Chain A
Amino acid sequence: MFGVLAIDRTMTHRKGNMHNIITTGSIDGKQCALLQVNTEIYSLQTIYAAGYTFLDRAYILIDKGKNNKILNVMIFNKNNGDVQKLGMEFYNELINYAHYFSRVEGNAGIIKTIMQRVLFSVNPKFSEEAEEQEIQDLLKELEKETPKKSAKS
């Protein structure tokens, strides 16, 4: 069951293949901005994160668009301010979190190494176990190398 959003027609004009990505309208007299977000560019995790930052000053509703690639994000200003500006800020926040998550993914290996170092420094037992493991690995490598060298000589 769906309601119909009263659309502000001035905001939905089209030029060639381009169209406004933010549509404004109202429901029950409350102004809102409707944003269309492509999930091939921004993950659901990114959309949640961006929406979360707006919870103190806006009401956010997320719904599936006409096709599975598009999500409709509806933003209502809690203080009856400019909803279009809020929509633009939401898009900026999407960029911000998309960048953050891509960096986290890219730096996952380094982060893991740093965290291991931190944990080792807190508990020397971990460090000792890791050192012991490293020594065992080196010994195994040496054992593998030794017969080859003796065979050559």
Chain B
Amino acid sequence: MIRFPLVKHGNKWILSLSRSIYSDNSIASLLKEFPSLVSLKRKSQKNKIELLVKNKEIHVALDVGNFLLSHNRSV
């Protein structure tokens, strides 16, 4: 069994991210850039952060991951 950070939740996706990999800055930029698409769900663990992606398409949730990676790289 492999733990996977992306879970479908009805018509939404929950993205569980490690804070040591995705910086707080990049997550803050994402929330600022797409406030209607992404919201902060809750902190499940100390080192994790959960994002709720309000779209049923998987590629939209995956695009969120790409946005965070590109922001991490550019900072």
A-B contact count (CB 8 A): 80
Whether a CB of chain A sits under 8 angstroms from the CB of B72 is: yes
Identify the closest chain A residue to B16 (Cβ): A1
Number of interface residues of A (CB under 8 A): 29
Q: How many residues of B contact A (CB 8 A)?
A: 28
- CB–CB B69/A4 < 8 A: no
| A28→B4 CA distance, assembly (Å) | 12
Q: Is B4 a contact partner of A5 (Cβ separation < 8 A)?
A: yes
**Known contacts A60-B69, A71-B21: A27-B2 contact under CB 8 Å:** no
The residue that A3 contacts in the complex, of B4, B59, B62, B70, with Cβ under 8 A, is B4
Contacting pair B50 A59 (CB below 8 A):
no
A2-B73 in contact given A28-B58, A59-B59, A62-B21 (Cβ < 8 Å):
no
Q: Is B44 an interface residue (CB 8 A)?
A: yes
- Report A90 CB to chain B, min CB distance, Å: 13
Once A27-B58, A48-B72, A59-B59 are accepted as A-B contacts, the answer to whether A4 and B66 lie under 8 Å apart by CB is no
Instruction: Give CA–CA (A72, B17) in the complex, Å.
Output: 12
B10 at the interface (CB under 8 A from A): no
Enumerate 6 A-B pairs (CB-CB under 8 Å) in ascending A order.
A1-B14, A5-B4, A27-B4, A28-B58, A49-B73, A78-B59
